[in-house]
Amino acid sequence: MSATQADPDIAYAICSFNDIPSQKARSFHLLRVDEDGATKPFHIVVVRWGRQVFGYVNRCPHDGVNLDWEPNQFFDPNGIRLMCGKHGALFELGTGACLEGPCKGRALMPVALQVLDNDICVTGVTLAEEEDEPRLCDSDENET
């Protein structure tokens, strides 16, 4: 494994579980380090639904824009699907699949999340510690 390859065992805390109320979503502007060592914006949306969390890259598969036309406004009027603010595509919460709209049949890009020590953590990527300042999750040791 190269030094810049994502370590699947590393988890980055982006917020506390309780920072996102159930049935709400929040955007995070992170920076990821790609395999070539380049740092790139990594804008994601995290949805909390009860005890579950779902993460997706905040990029509509239709036109490549952020889904939220106003900051952190991700839901359709019924509050049960993610909606792109530009042309109204609707996405299933649990899968990111586009169910209606101009990108029907395509899907949001998933982001792997874990809840560790009551923190929502991003896994499967290497993050640079800037912008929303992710920190490493500590899954088997207690921080004091």
Residues that bind ligand FES (CB under 6 A): 60, 62-63, 65, 84, 86-87, 89, 101-103
User: Which residue, 21 or 64, has its beta carbon nearer to ligand FES?
Assistant: 64
Minimal distance, residue 102 CB to ligand FES, in Å: 5
Provide, rounded to whole angstroms, the least separation between the CB of residue 45 and ligand FES: 13
Name which of 20 and 98 has its Cβ closer to ligand FES. 98
The amino acid sitting at 16 is: S
CB of 129 to ligand FES, least distance (A): 30
- Between 106 and 135, CB nearer to ligand FES: 106
Alpha-carbon distance 92 to 33, whole Å?
28
Tell me how far, at minimum, the Cβ of 109 lies from ligand FES, in Å: 14
> 106-111: which pairs have CB atoms within 8 A and are 24 or more residues apart?
106/61, 106/62, 107/61, 108/56, 108/57, 108/59, 108/60, 108/61, 108/67, 108/82, 109/56, 109/57, 109/59, 109/61, 110/54, 110/55, 110/56, 110/57, 111/44, 111/46, 111/55, 111/56, 111/57
Closest CB to ligand FES among residues 50, 64: 64
Shortest distance in whole angstroms from residue 122 CB to ligand FES: 23
DSSP three-state, residue 121: strand
Toward ligand FES, which CB reaches closer, 86 or 135? 86
